[in-house]
């Protein structure tokens, strides 16, 4: 549902209520009108489809700022394997080490190996999932690990 179209999508507008000036972006105003309340302190408005110009009220959700930050700044997986990344390590001849990182009891836990297949074995020994999320990237990672092992 499109409630209204503003011209201030990129620049905020200022509203006056007699005492104070409030500055809002279009998407913030659309959300507030659609939900009949102001944005709570510590919360952001997020565009569900990722399109910052789509200010349709159905595309806007109110979420805590810290979760919003994580959502837009989550590190990209480059290895193709869930929970696995290359961690810089100058003590290794290859300059990095394969790291398996996961959450356990609310804490970040990790183990590592210079060899990706050994890392996979460690994960299995610990009863942890080993999930290929991108087969092309994963194959590249395995090949890279084998090359470095020779
Ligand atoms: Zn967002």
Q: How far is the CA of 31 from the centre of ligand 1 (A)?
A: 13
pTM over 0.85: no
Ligand 1 ion: residues within 5 Å (CB): 46
Of 107, 94, 100, 32, the closest CA to residue 62 belongs to 32
pLDDT in tens, 108-121: 899 999 999 999 99
How much distance in Å is there from the Cα of 52 to the middle of ligand 1? 8
70 falls in which pLDDT band (50, 70, 90)?
Answer: confident
| 58 Cα–ligand 1 center, Å | 14
Going from N- to C-terminal start, the domains of the chain cover 13-73, 84-149
CA distances from 136 to 99, 103, 106, 133 (A): 19, 26, 31, 9
């Amino acid at each position: 549902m499109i409630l209204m179209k503003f011209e201030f999508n990129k620049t905020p507008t200022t509203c006056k209520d007699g005492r104070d000036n409030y500055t809002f972006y279009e998407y913030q105003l659309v959300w507030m009108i659609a939900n009949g309340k102001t944005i709570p302190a510590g919360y952001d408005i997020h565009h569900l489809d990722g399109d910052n110009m789509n200010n349709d009220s159905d595309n806007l959700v109110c979420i805590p700022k810290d979760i919003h930050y994580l959502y837009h700044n989550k590190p990209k997986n480059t290895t193709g394997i869930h929970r696995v990344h290359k961690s810089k390590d100058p003590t290794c001849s290859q300059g990095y080490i394969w790291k398996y990182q996961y959450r356990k009891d609310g804490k970040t836990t990790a183990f590592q190996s210079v060899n990706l297949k050994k890392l996979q074995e460690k994960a299995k020994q610990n009863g942890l999932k080993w999930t290929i999320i991108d087969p092309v990237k994963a194959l590249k990672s395995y090949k890279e690990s084998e090359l470095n092992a020779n």
